[in-house]
Each structure stands twice: as structure tokens, then as C-alpha cells.
């Protein structure tokens, strides 16, 4: 990961932990592809043979010892480059700009050539770890030939055979050790039912919906925090699935309303949103959509939680109101075009079951991981059709993208220049057209190396 304080590194938006990047650099024919295939495992290399943003860069998902990282194969040729020297310098520059760890691959049977020496000279300036791999060392005998590689000034040469796999595990251990802490695979430690918040203005019908869901006559299973008399969360069944409605004590006792202070009500809302994975925002369908409603929707998106919109009191909606609402929704939802809407009546129970499929979809997309190969294929297509606008006479290049996180999906674009907010919004729109992301906010961060 590029350190936040790096000179020349611009980070926009919330900097979340990014899956670390290993860049593989080296002359043609030294055995890079064979080694990359070895690292990825043959199966993945075959199915994920997807070209990157430009033809010379391909990003893959890699996994070693439970650590995920992105493998950037800078192997090809710069389309406009003059010769091998220029091509490899460009590779090295890309690697130094965007990778956390760089691996220079040299041919252990041939030894260091003048081109290897030139690229090593460039890489010695790198402010991040560089690992020197000597490939085609298929046996012990080959290892004895490696001492000459020390003069590249990149430390100890590490022998490996991409073809036979010899030494590749040790090499990967070194790579992982050199990386900043990568996020472990997300596991929901809490487990159990998925957590839902019911929020909305006073009198919109939150308690009625909770009662409808728990079933007033049925015995209610309450998850307790602290005491048995003050249940905080309620476990309910909707559409055959168990859900946990968080922070329902306030809904039962109407804390915010009784005390009459909007301040406490809003704190309560914030706490509920943060405790939940998906928020159901209730609106009163019989009334105009208010700024306050939209503020809560923004709060959910900013908190990075999935969102479902429930238009409650649908039983009060007549023809006229329905027409007015269509226009209001159009205007109100420009900021949240990705939200799914369900029309319900908490009083009559109408369509309350429909909440579950909408929550399920939102959470599925909130959990989504887009494979790096697919993401970069998409990016290549979009950027080819609509390149980023020129700024200050320069066309920013988007080098590649990775998904740093899910819950919510968070993407990082590695670029050679600033991307305007308008273009980032365009990319988000395009992303949503290609990958199912209904019901979840997404975040697109840009890492610039000027
Ligand atoms: P790249 O151009 O750097 O990607 O190199 P390749 O991976 O395509 O390899 C170039 C040639 O070297 C191919 O003929 C490979 O079979 C051979 N080669 C690659 N790795 C090894 C290795 O570990 N041992 C041996 N003996 N040959 C290798
Ligand atoms: P809360 O403050 O958000 O918890 O709202 P309540 O659940 O206490 O509901 C406020 C008022 O709206 C009560 O009088 C409810 O009976 C009424 N209400 C709730 N849901 C509906 C609905 O779907 N249709 C109609 N007509 N009234 C509703």
C-alpha cells in the first residue's frame, strides 16, 4: 500500500486498507509468465487470462498463506516504446508508482545483462521493497551460479524455478513478509442473523412495523444486552428468514419522542444505522418527502451501510398522491438511484414480506467482491470508450483497479493523474451497469502518483 504520507501520492476519499500489490518486472523471456502462472496456480491463470487497462498490464487476484494480494504483471511491451530499455523502464516506473512490493525477475541461467543492470539502477531508487528473483534455477547446481547477481545492488538473489516450482514457496513467503498488513478475508465474527435498523421520522410507523414483524400475539424472542427487561435487539422472522432488528428498545418505549428532543432521536438513529448492516428507511407515503428523510438516507450511505426504502402507509395513498410521489421520488433519489423501494403498510401488514427480498439483495451486493480480472476488463472497456477528460493539458492514465474491500464495495483506481469528481461519478454509474450493486453504496478511491 502506498503510504499516506508519500510525496507525490494523492489519496482522495476515505483511505481504507487496500489489498497490497506485487508488481513483477523483467526482460522478455526471463521466465516472468511462467513464474506468474506458478504463483497464481495454473487454473486461475488460465481462466483469468483477461487483459488489463492497457495491453501491457494485467492484474490478478493472488492468495498465499491466507493473504490476498493483487499481482500486477507488467510483462508486455509499451505500445509506443522505442526499445527494450524504454519498455522495461516504463514497467519499473509503473511498478514504483503503484505497487507495494516489486519483484525484479532475471534469468538465473543467463545472469545479469546490461538491461537488467539498467532497470536495477532505476529500482534502487524505489522507496519500497524490491525482491530479486532469479528464475530457471531448476536445481542445486544452478544456485551456485548466482553470486554474480549481487552486483545488481538489490540484495540477495532468490533462486526459483517457475517451471518446476522449486523455491516458489520461499519466494512468496518473502513477498508476504515485505507487504504491509493485508486485510484478512472478511469473516463476520458475530455470525447469526443479519442486522437490520428500522429508521425514519417520528410517527412514520417504525413501531407499528416492528410489531407487525414480531407479531403482537406471538411470543417475541428478544436478544438481550445487559438486562432481560430492556431488550435492545429483537429477533424476527420475515419471509422464512431470521433477522435481527437492532436497537428496538427505543421503538418500544419511544424514547426519542417521549423526551421530545430531536437531538436524542437523531443520536439513536445514528447508533442504529451503525449497529446494523442494512437499514430500512421508512417514509410516510401519504406525505411529501422531506429534507430530513433524505438526510437520513445520506447518513446511511455515508456510514457505508446497505439501504432499503420502505414507503409506509401505502393504504393512505390515492391516485393524486401517487402521481405527486413519482415526481418527488425522481427528484429526491438522484443521489440514491441505486436504492430499492418497497411499498408497504405497517398497519395492515400489506407487502411487509417484500422487505426481505429487498434486504437480501442489498446485503448480497453489499458483500460483493468483483474479481480483479473482471474489474480491469470492465475498466479497459469503459476507459477506451470514454477516456478521462484532459486536465491541465494532460490526459490522466488509469493504470488499473482493485477492489480494496467489501461491505460496502470499495474500489481503488491507480492513476497517473487527478480524476475529476464528474468522471468518478461516471465510473460509478458504469460500474453499477455492469455489476449488481443495487441497494449498496460503493466507494471509489483514487490513488494518484503525479
Ligand atoms: P517471459 O517472457 O519473461 O514471460 O518468459 P516466459 O515465462 O514466457 O519464459 C520464457 C522461456 O523460458 C520459456 O520457454 C519457458 O519455458 C522458459 N522457462 C521459464 N521458466 C523456466 C524455469 O524455471 N526453468 C526453465 N528451465 N525454463 C523456464
Ligand atoms: P413511529 O413513531 O415511527 O414508531 O410510528 P408509529 O408506529 O408509532 O406510528 C405512528 C402512527 O402512524 C400510529 O397512529 C400508527 O397507527 C400509524 N401508522 C403506522 N403505520 C401505518 C400504516 O401503514 N398505515 C396507516 N394508515 N397508519 C399507520
What tens digit of pLDDT does each residue of 280-309 get?
A: 999 999 999 999 999 999 999 999 999 999
Residue 264 has what pLDDT? 67
* Contact 347 CB / ligand 2 (< 6 Å): yes
- Is the pLDDT at 171 greater than 70, yes or no? yes
* Contact 269 CB / ligand 2 (< 6 Å): no
Higher pLDDT, 262 or 287: 287
- Is the pLDDT at 57 greater than 50, yes or no? yes
- Is the pLDDT at 82 greater than 80, yes or no? no
The bound ligand whose nearest atom lies closest to the alpha carbon of 165 is 1
Which of 341-351 are b and which e, b meaning 16 or more Cβ less than 10 Å from the residue's Cβ?
A: ebbbbbbeeee
**Mean of pLDDT values over 325-343:** 93
- Interatomic CA distance for residues 332 and 325, integer angstroms: 10
- Residue 430, marked binder: no
Give the CA diameter of the chain: 86
Higher pLDDT, 225 or 211: 211
Question: How far apart are the CA of 29 and the centre of ligand 1, in A?
Answer: 6
* Contact 38 CB / ligand 2 (< 6 Å): no
- Is the pLDDT at 80 greater than 50, yes or no? no
The bound ligand whose nearest atom lies closest to the alpha carbon of 35 is 1
Higher pLDDT, 372 or 231: 372
Which pairs with CB-CB distance under 8 Å and at least 24 residues apart come from 314-318? 314/285, 314/343, 314/344, 314/345, 314/350, 314/351, 315/345, 315/347, 315/348, 315/350, 316/285, 316/286, 317/285, 317/286, 317/343
- Is the pLDDT at 141 greater than 50, yes or no? yes
- Cβ atoms of 367 and 435 within 8 Å: the answer is no
Residue 265 neighbours by CB under 8 Å, 6+ apart: 202, 255, 256, 257
At residue 182 the predicted structure's pLDDT band, cuts being 50, 70 and 90, is low
Range with lowest mean pLDDT among 74-83, 92-101, 422-431: 74-83
Question: How far apart are the CA of 346 and the centre of ligand 2, in A?
Answer: 7
- Interatomic CA distance for residues 222 and 225, integer angstroms: 9
Residue 227 has what pLDDT? 42
Residue 87 has what pLDDT? 76
Residue 110 has what pLDDT? 94
Higher pLDDT, 246 or 49: 246
Residue 55 has what pLDDT? 40
* Mean pLDDT rounded to a whole number for the chain: 82
* Contact 32 CB / ligand 1 (< 6 Å): yes
- Cβ atoms of 151 and 112 within 8 Å: the answer is yes
- Is the pLDDT at 160 greater than 90, yes or no? yes
**Mean of pLDDT values over 162-185:** 84
- Interatomic CA distance for residues 338 and 340, integer angstroms: 7
Pocket test for ligand 2, best of 199, 205, 287, 290 (most atoms within 8 A of CB): 205
Q: Which of 278, 218, 215 is nearest to 246 (CA)?
A: 278
- Is the pLDDT at 100 greater than 60, yes or no? yes
Residue 166 has what pLDDT? 93
- Residue 338, marked binder: no
**Mean of pLDDT values over 51-76:** 69
* Contact 251 CB / ligand 2 (< 6 Å): yes
Residue 260 has what pLDDT? 55
Amino acid at each position: 500500500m502506498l503510504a499516506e504520507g508519500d510525496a507525490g501520492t494523492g489519496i482522495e476519499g476515505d483511505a481504507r486498507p487496500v489489498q497490497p500489490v506485487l508488481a513483477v518486472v523483467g526482460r522478455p523471456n526471463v521466465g516472468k509468465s511462467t513464474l506468474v502462472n506458478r504463483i497464481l496456480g495454473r487454473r486461475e491463470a488460465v481462466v483469468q487470462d483477461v487483459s488489463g487497462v492497457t495491453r501491457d498490464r494485467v492484474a490478478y487476484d493472488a492468495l498465499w498463506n491466507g493473504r490476498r494480494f493483487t499481482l500486477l504483471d507488467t510483462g508486455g511491451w509499451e505500445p509506443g516504446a522505442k526499445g527494450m530499455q524504454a519498455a522495461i523502464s516504463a514497467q519499473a516506473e509503473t511498478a514504483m508508482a503503484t505497487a507495494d512490493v516489486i519483484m525484479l525477475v532475471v534469468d538465473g541461467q543467463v545472469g545479469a545483462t546490461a538491461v537488467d543492470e539498467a532497470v536495477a539502477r532505476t529500482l534502487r531508487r524505489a522507496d519500497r521493497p524490491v525482491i530479486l528473483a532469479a528464475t530457471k534455477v531448476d536445481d542445486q547446481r544452478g544456485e551456485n551460479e548466482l553470486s554474480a547477481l549481487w552486483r545488481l545492488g538489490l540484495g540477495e538473489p532468490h533462486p526459483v524455478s517457475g517451471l518446476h516450482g522449486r523455491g516458489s514457496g520461499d519466494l512468496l513467503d518473502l513477498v508476504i513478509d515485505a507487504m504491509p498488513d493485508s486485510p484478512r478475508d472478511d469473516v463476520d465474527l458475530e455470525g447469526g442473523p443479519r442486522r437490520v435498523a428500522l429508521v425514519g421520522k417520528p410517527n412514520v410507523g417504525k413501531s407499528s412495523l416492528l410489531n407487525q414483524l414480531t407479531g403482537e400475539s406471538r411470543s417475541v424472542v428478544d436478544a438481550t444486552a445487559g438486562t432481560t427487561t430492556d431488550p435492545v435487539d429483537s429477533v424476527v422472522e420475515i419471509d422464512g428468514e431470521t433477522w435481527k432488528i437492532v436497537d428496538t428498545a427505543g421503538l418500544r418505549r419511544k424514547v426519542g419522542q417521549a423526551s421530545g428532543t430531536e437531538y436524542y432521536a437523531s443520536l439513536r438513529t445514528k447508533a442504529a444505522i451503525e449497529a446494523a448492516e442494512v437499514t430500512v428507511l421508512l417514509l410516510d407515503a401519504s406525505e411529501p418527502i422531506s429534507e430530513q428523510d433524505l438526510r437520513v438516507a445520506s447518513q446511511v450511505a455515508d456510514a457505508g451501510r446497505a439501504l432499503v426504502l420502505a414507503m409506509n402507509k401505502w393504504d393512505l395513498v390515492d391516485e393524486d398522491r401517487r402521481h405527486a410521489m413519482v415526481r418527488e421520488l425522481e427528484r429526491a433519489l438522484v443521489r440514491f438511484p441505486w436504492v430499492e423501494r418497497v411499498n408497504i403498510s405497517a398497519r395492515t401488514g400489506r407487502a411487509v414480506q417484500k422487505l426481505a427480498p429487498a434486504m437480501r439483495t442489498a446485503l448480497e451486493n453489499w458483500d460483493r467482491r468483483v474479481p480483479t480480472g473482471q474489474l480491469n476488463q470492465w475498466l479497459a472497456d469503459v476507459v477506451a470508450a470514454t477516456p478521462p477528460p484532459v486536465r491541465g493539458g494532460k490526459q490522466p492514465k488509469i493504470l488499473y483497479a482493485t477492489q480494496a474491500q467489501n461491505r460496502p464495495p470499495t474500489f481503488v483506481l491507480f492513476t497517473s493523474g487527478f480524476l475529476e469528481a464528474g468522471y468518478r461519478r461516471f465510473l460509478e454509474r458504469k460500474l453499477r451497469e455492469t455489476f449488481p450493486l443495487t441497494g449498496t453504496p460503493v466507494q471509489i478511491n483514487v490513488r494518484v502518483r503525479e
